[in-house]
Amino acid sequence: MVLPNGWVVGQLRVPDPEATGGVFSVSYPVHKLDGTQGFLKVLNLSRAFAVPNFLDELQSLTTQFRAERDLCVMCGERRLANVVVAIDHGEIRLPEYALGAVSYIVFELATHDVRKALAVSQGVDDVIKLEYLHSVALGLRQLHSIRVSHQDLKPSNFLVFPDLPNGRATGKLGDLGRAFRADSPSVLDDLATPGDSSYAPPEQLYGHIYQDEGTRRYAADIYQMGSLAVFMFTGRTMNAWLASKLEPSHHWAKWGDSYSAVLPYLEDAYGEVLDDVESSRPGGSGRQFRELVTYLCEPDAERRGHPASRRQRHGNPYALDRVITSIDLLARRLSRGITI
pLDDT on residue 79: 93
Name the residue among 161, 165, 159, 197 with its Cα closest to residue 178. 197
Note whether residue 134 is domain-resident.
Answer: yes
Provide the residue type at 120 as one letter: V
| Residues 118 and 216 placed together within one structural domain of the fold | yes
Note whether residue 340 is domain-resident.
Answer: no
Note whether residue 329 is domain-resident.
Answer: yes
Domain boundary among 54, 82, 108: 108
Domain boundary among 44, 79, 108: 108
pTM: 0.91
| Residues 222 and 160 placed together within one structural domain of the fold | yes
Q: Which domain holds residue 214?
A: 112-335
Note whether residue 80 is domain-resident.
Answer: yes
Domain boundary among 59, 77, 108: 108
| Residues 80 and 152 placed together within one structural domain of the fold | no
pLDDT on residue 101: 82
Do residues 224 and 238 make contact, with C-beta atoms less than 8 angstroms apart? no
Residues 198-250 have pLDDT tens digits of: 999 999 999 999 999 999 999 999 999 999 999 999 999 999 999 999 999 99
pLDDT on residue 123: 66
| Percent of the chain residues topping a pLDDT of 70 | 93
State the CATH number of the domain containing residue 56. 3.30.200.20
| Residues 165 and 87 placed together within one structural domain of the fold | no
Sheet containing strand 8-9, edge to edge, reads 8-9, 25-31, 37-43, 101-108, 86-93
Q: Which residue ranges in the chain fall short of pLDDT 70?
A: 16-23, 121-123, 163-169, 283-284, 338-340
| Residues 256 and 150 placed together within one structural domain of the fold | yes
| Residues 251 and 188 placed together within one structural domain of the fold | yes
Provide the residue type at 123 as one letter: G
The total domain count for the chain is 2
Provide the residue type at 1 as one letter: M
| Residues 163 and 231 placed together within one structural domain of the fold | yes
Note whether residue 37 is domain-resident.
Answer: yes
| Residues 163 and 28 placed together within one structural domain of the fold | no
Note whether residue 186 is domain-resident.
Answer: yes
| Residues 73 and 153 placed together within one structural domain of the fold | no
Name the residue among 74, 48, 207 with its Cα closest to residue 143. 74
- 105 Cβ contact list (under 8 Å, min separation 6): 40, 41, 68, 69, 72, 86, 88, 89
Note whether residue 248 is domain-resident.
Answer: yes
| Residues 175 and 275 placed together within one structural domain of the fold | yes
State the CATH number of the domain containing residue 221. 1.10.510.10
| Residues 135 and 215 placed together within one structural domain of the fold | yes
| Residues 44 and 148 placed together within one structural domain of the fold | no
pLDDT on residue 340: 47
Residue 202, H or E segment: helix 202-205
CA pair distance 168, 133, nearest whole angstrom = 12
